[in-house]
Amino acid sequence: MKSILVIQHVEYEGLGIIEEILQKRGFEFELIISTKNNIPKSARNYSAIIIMGGPMGVYEQSLYPFISDEVRLIKNCFDENIPVLGVCLGAQLVASAAGAKVYKGNQKEIGWYNLKLTEEGKSDFLFRGLPEEFPVFQWHGDTFDTPDNCTNLASSDLFPNQIIKVGENVYGLQFHLEVTEEMIKNWITINDEELKSVKSYINIEDLLKHTRTYIDRLNQYGQIVFNRFFDQIQS
């Protein structure tokens, strides 16, 4: 089987629990950091593409030229019927490739927020059987409109587009289903200045308390969703 391409935008936003799943299932994967490596022009050499998060915006292509390269690669995946899993910024890139506008939201969504599956989400192969509503970890300020050719599978109170699906095998998850408790603590340390700018409505102690409460359940759901995504590849 062809390897999976993993695109990271910053080294601290890695695969999380996805890496262990890939290893247990025997998948080989090629990891590239978009700020250091060239983005392939074609996805034909890969069985799937995973695109992780990052602090940059899809609309900042003049500052980050690789963004347009990634959008082009995702469009190539549409054409070649190659599965894509986009996380946070990765989801916004999927939306952009499908024709959506990506822009700054009214406020940032950082911490634990309830995710609500739509009727389409409740019946989707990846999310079938999960609770209709459950807390997920978020860290983003940008959002996107739902493209005409996409299905919206979930929403939150602050942002209506939390999971989008393009075709049968391209998914964009605005939230972080892959995170571990250690990753969250690391992000808090690294993004200290950003957190200071939102301290009027985001409390770090509450965030950490909620992490201890919800992380195990989140990882259980992540195991289900990511394994189902890889089931589609191996089938």
Using CB atoms within 10 A of its CB, is residue 201 exposed (0-12), middle (13-18) or buried (19+)? exposed
* Identity at 179, one-letter amino acid code: V
- Could you confirm whether 9 is annotated as catalytic? no
What tens digit of pLDDT does each residue of 42-79 get?
A: 999 999 999 999 999 999 999 999 999 999 999 999 99
What is the pLDDT, as a whole number, of residue 146? 86
Asked if pLDDT for residue 235 goes beyond 90, the answer is no
Domain that holds residue 36: 4-230
The values of phi and psi at residue 14, to 5°, are -95, -165
Among 77, 140, 150, 176, which one carries the catalytic annotation? 176
List C-alpha distances in Å: 106 to 87, 197, 215. Answer: 20, 14, 27
Mean pLDDT of 16-41: 96
How many domains does the chain divide into?
1
Residue 235 lies in a domain: no
Residue 176 lies in a domain: yes
For residue 229, how far is the Cα from the chain centroid?
A: 13
Single pTM value for the model: 0.97
Among 13, 77, 88, 140, which one carries the catalytic annotation? 88
Residue 173 lies in a domain: yes
What is the pLDDT, as a whole number, of residue 176? 99
What tens digit of pLDDT does each residue of 72-118 get?
A: 999 999 999 999 999 999 999 999 999 999 999 999 999 999 999 99
Residue 1 pLDDT class (50, 70, 90 cuts): confident
What is the pLDDT, as a whole number, of residue 149? 87
Higher pLDDT, 185 or 37: 185
- Could you confirm whether 150 is annotated as catalytic? no
- Retrieve residue 86's tokens: 């986009």
Give the chain as a 3 state SS string. CCCEEEEECCCCCCCCHHHHHHHHCCCCEEEEECCCCCCCCCCCCCCEEEECCCCCCCCCCCCCCHHHHHHHHHHHHHHHCCCEEEECHHHHHHHHHCCCCEEEEEEEEEEEEEEEECHHHHHCCCCCCCCCEEEEEEEEEEEECCCCCEEEEEECCCCCCCEEEECCCEEEECCECCCCHHHHHHHHHHCHHHHHHCCCCCCHHHHHHHHHHHHHHHHHHHHHHHHHHHHHHHC
- Could you confirm whether 88 is annotated as catalytic? yes
Residue 22 lies in a domain: yes
What tens digit of pLDDT does each residue of 177-228 get?
A: 999 999 999 999 999 999 999 999 999 999 999 999 999 999 999 999 999 9
What is the pLDDT, as a whole number, of residue 148? 85
Among 13, 70, 109, 178, which one carries the catalytic annotation? 178
Q: Which CATH number is 210's domain given?
A: 3.40.50.880
Asked if pLDDT for residue 147 goes beyond 90, the answer is no
What is the pLDDT, as a whole number, of residue 201? 96
